[in-house]
Chain A
Amino acid sequence: MGVERLLRLWAMRATMNASQLLRSRGELLAWSVTSVIGNVGSITGTFLIAQRFDGIGRWSRSEILFMLGFAVLVNALLNALAGFNVGMVSRRIGRGQMDHTLLQPQPLWLSLMTEGFAPLEELGAITIGAGLIAIAARGAGVHASPAWVALLVLQVLSSLLILIAYQYAWGSVAFWTPRAAEEINTRTSSMTWSVANLPLDGVYGWLRVGLLTAIPTGFVAWLPCRALLGIEPAYPAALILTPAAAAVFAAIAILVFRKGLDHYVRTGSSRYSTFGHRR
C-alpha cells in the first residue's frame, strides 16, 4: 500500500515536472543546459588537473574520472529526489511552509519523499554521471560483475542518504530558530560540496576524519569510489563504511528531526502571516 502510493505520487510529480518544463521549448532548453553546465563545470577543475598530470596522487586519470562521474550522479539524483526545497528543509521549516506539508492527508515522510521529485531536468546530468562511470570503469580495468554493480548502486544510495540526513539534521535547527536558521541548509550544502570532487588521500589525518564526520564530504564520492576501485592502501571493511555511515547519519537525523517537530507542533511558526507571506 505504502509503496504503491509512493510510486503513484512519484508518477504524478514527474508528470507535473514534465508539464512545467514542456510548456515552452525555451524553458526546457534553459533548465536542461543549465543543469548540464552546472554539473560538468563543478567537476572540470579536478578533471583538468588529472588530465594534465596523468592522475592525482594514487588515483589514475580513469579513476579520477570515475569519482567525478559518481559525484555528478549523486548530485543529480539528489536534485531529482529532493527538489523544491525538500533537500533544503530549513527553508521550508523557517518559512513556516512545513504547515502546508503537515496539513496533507498523508504521513509526513511520504510527503517529503514525493514533493521534491523532479526528475526530468536532471536527466541530462544523470546520463552524464552514469556515462562517465561506465567509461571510466572500463578505463580503470574494473570487471563490472553483477555483484560489483550491486555494490555500486548500494554506495550511490548510501551517499545520497548521508547527504539528505546531514541536511535534515542541520535543517531541524530551524524548528527552534526559524528566522536565524532559515538558510542554514544553504551553508551546510556548500560545506558538503566544496571539496567533494577532490581525492582526500593527501590531506592531514585530522582533516580527513573531520571530512568524514563533522562534514560528510568524503562520503559524497571519495570514500565509496576508493572502496569500489580498490585504491591502495585499502581501508578495512572499505565497502561497508559508507552504508554503515549512512545508517548512523540517518539515525541522528531522524532523532533530531523528531525532537524539532515535537517542539514545532507545540509552538508553530510565527513567520506565517494571514495573507500567506512570511514575515
Chain B
Amino acid sequence: MYAVPSPIVTSLARLRGYGATALISAVEPLNDGPLFLIPIGIRFVAVLVMLAIWRDVLGAHPGAAGMPLGAVLAYTLLAQALAPQLNFTSDLGEHLWDGSILGRFLWPQGLVAQVLATTAGRWVPDLALGTAPMLLGASLLHVSVAPASPIALAAFLLSLGLAITVGLAIDFAFTALTVSLRTTIWLIEQIRNATTALLSGGIIPLALMPWGLGGVFGWLPFAATASAPLRIYTGTGPILPLLAGQLLWALVLWPAVWLLWTRNREKVAGYGG
C-alpha cells in the first residue's frame, strides 16, 4: 500500500533539493580556474582605492555629515566585502539571453527558490576567498570593522536578510522589465549597473552626497539593499526606522514584482544557440 509522505518529509526533501542546487552553484565558478578570482581581486583593488580617497577627502573635512572617518572607512570596507549580498544579482538575465530559462521552468522547484539557491551557492567561494580575507585583513589597513554595539550586530543580521529580500525583488523586477519591453538584456543591465549601486549607497554613503541627494535616495527601495544594513552596523543610522523601512519595501515590492512577473512570463521566448 502506498504511504503518503508526511509534510515534514516533503519539506526536508525540498530543502535537500535547494541544498544540492546551492552546492552545484558553489563549485561551478571553480570550473573557470583562477579566472573566477578576478572579480574578487577587483573588489580588493576597489576597497584600497576608496579607502585612500576617503582618507584624503575626510582628512580635510573631519566629521562631515555626522560620519566620523572611522565609520566611513568601516562602511566602505564592509560595502565591498559584502558586495554580492548588498547588490543581489542573479543569473536570470543570462538565462534569458541564452534561452536556458525555458529549462528552468521545467525544474521541480519554484523559480524564486531556484534563483535564491543558485545565487546563495555562488556566494560560498566568494565569502571564503573575498569577504573573509577582507574582514580579517581590515586591521592591516587600519580599519576597525567591529560593529557599533552588540545590538547593532544583531540588528545588522536582520537587516542583511531584509536587504537580500528586497534585492531579490529588484532583481526580478529588472528581469520582468526586460521581458516586458522585449529588449536585449544588455540595455537593461547597463542601466541597472549605472544606477543601482549609486542609489543604494553601496559606493558612497548617502549622507556624504551633495545637495541633499542622500536624503532623497534614502526613500528609494535601493537604499534598503545596502545603505540601511551598513548604517546599522556602523552605528550611523537609527536602527528601528531603518529596519521598518526595509520591511515596508519588502512588503510593497514583492506583490508588485510578482504581479509584473506573472503577467510577463508568458512573453519569454527562447531560441537557444
Contact = CB atoms under 8 A, between A and B. Distances in A.
B contact patch SS: helix
A199 B57 CA distance: 12
Given A40-B194, A194-B42, A202-B56, A48 B187 contact: no
A56 B204 contact: no
Contacts of A203: 48-49, 52
Contacts of A215: 45
Nearest to B32: A180
Interface string A87-103: 00000000000000000
Interface string A153-192: 0000000000000000000000000001101100110110
Interface in A194-235: 194-195, 198-204, 207, 211, 215
B33 interface: yes
Contact of A49 (B41, B57, B195): B57
Interface stretch (B101-109, B127-135, B207-215): B207-215
A113 B105 CA distance: 42
A45 interface: yes
Interface residues of A, number: 40
Contacts of A56: 53, 56-57
Contacts of A37: 190-191, 194-195
Interface in A16-46: 30-31, 34-35, 37-42, 44-45
A277 interface: yes
Contact of A45 (B39, B41, B183, B198): B198
B35 interface: yes
Contacts of B58: 53
Contact of A41 (B35, B46, B50, B194): B194
Given A39-B194, A180-B35, 17 more contacts: A31-B187, A34-B190, A37-B191, A48-B209, A49-B208, A51-B210, A56-B53, A180-B32, A181-B35, A184-B35, A188-B38, A195-B45, A203-B48, A203-B52, A207-B45, A207-B49, A211-B45
The 8 closest A-B pairs by CB, nearest first: A41-B194, A202-B52, A52-B210, A57-B56, A38-B190, A187-B38, A202-B56, A203-B52
Interface of B: 32-33, 35, 38-39, 41-42, 45-46, 48-50, 52-53, 55-58, 60-61, 64, 183, 187, 190-191, 193-195, 197-198, 203-204, 208-211, 213, 273
25 contacts: A34-B191, A35-B190, A38-B193, A40-B194, A41-B193, A45-B203, A48-B204, A48-B209, A48-B213, A49-B204, A52-B64, A52-B208, A53-B60, A56-B57, A180-B33, A183-B35, A184-B35, A188-B38, A190-B39, A191-B45, A198-B50, A199-B53, A203-B48, A203-B49, A204-B48
Interface of A: 30-31, 34-35, 37-42, 44-45, 48-49, 51-53, 56-57, 180-181, 183-184, 187-188, 190-191, 194-195, 198-204, 207, 211, 215, 277
